Homo-oligomer: A and B are copies of this chain.
């Protein structure tokens, strides 16, 4: 049991809209600010930011909370909501769920006094999010590649969360999947799933891939590796900054290389919103459990 009666949602995109709709279905009263120019479920109470903050103990900020390190990430809001000085003060004494909290903490010292709970840093969040991210990557590959995913030769560089989800999906679609990793134990996992396993440092000794997906966040596809392995491939870089592809070299070599980030929110906002919800629920349950055991 969650024992939550209401929740205030400040800003966000289609993920928050899906999230609010689902919270309402669970019987939770929702106050929403920052959704001026979009229609949302009529059971959600649209209001202004001050009112919304006042109405609930639980506040939800977007993912990420800010993109420009200045104002709230609220694409459906008519005004810019600045996040420095005054704004965080209003959140003292609230439980504030947010994505990428370090972006806020660097904004102004007041944020350090806010009880920020970063749902995007939870491991189960990242694991769940790797499913929509993998689908987004495959959707992109389907647009760019002129053959079918079925029977295409795919390389997934990296066997972390996204690498696992992606190779699983590609295999399920009938692709011929090669996965790279650094550790022997990961190679053993890869083989036990019926993919071909290669060492990441040996990627340059393999070629003939139709599509290459990079999930490793450091320079793997430098000019040399690109020239050796990716000459005839579509290359999709899914790794967060600084990324793993030398895009200049790719251009020079005539390789179609695409940087694809934030796929869950773009490709499957509904699923991405529900994943935020599940994560928040789990956090609240943990808080409740802790409270309960402290009381006893």
Contact present for A142 and B174 (CB under 8 Å): no
List the number of copies, as a whole number: 4
Question: How far is A54 from B174 in the complex, measured between Cα atoms in Å?
Answer: 42
Question: Could you say which interface size class chain A belongs to?
Answer: 35 or more
**In chain B, what residue has the closest Cβ to A17?**
B146
* Cα–Cα distance between A269 and B127 once the two chains are bound (Å): 34
**Interface hits, A190-216 → B, CB 8 Å:** 191-194
State the main secondary structure of chain A at its contact with B. helix
A127 partner, pick from B143, B148, B188, B282, beta carbons under 8 A: B188
Cα distance, A188 to B169, chains bound together (Å): 16
Instruction: Kindly name the residue among A131, A149, A150, A169 whose own CB sees the greatest number of chain B CB atoms within 10 A.
Output: A150
A130: min CB distance to chain B, Å:
7
Q: Contact at A185–B123, with CB atoms within 8 Å?
A: yes
The answer to whether A194 touches B169, judged by C-beta atoms less than 8 angstroms apart, is no
- How far is B127's CA from A36's CA once the two chains are assembled, in angstroms? 50
**Partner-B contacts on A (CB < 8 A):** 14, 18, 122-125, 127-128, 130-132, 135, 138-139, 142-143, 145-151, 165, 168-169, 172-174, 184-185, 187-189, 191-194, 267-271, 274, 282
**Chain A to chain B contacts (Cβ below 8 Å), 14 pairs:** A122-B184, A123-B185, A123-B188, A127-B189, A128-B191, A131-B150, A131-B192, A146-B268, A146-B270, A146-B271, A147-B268, A148-B268, A151-B271, A165-B192
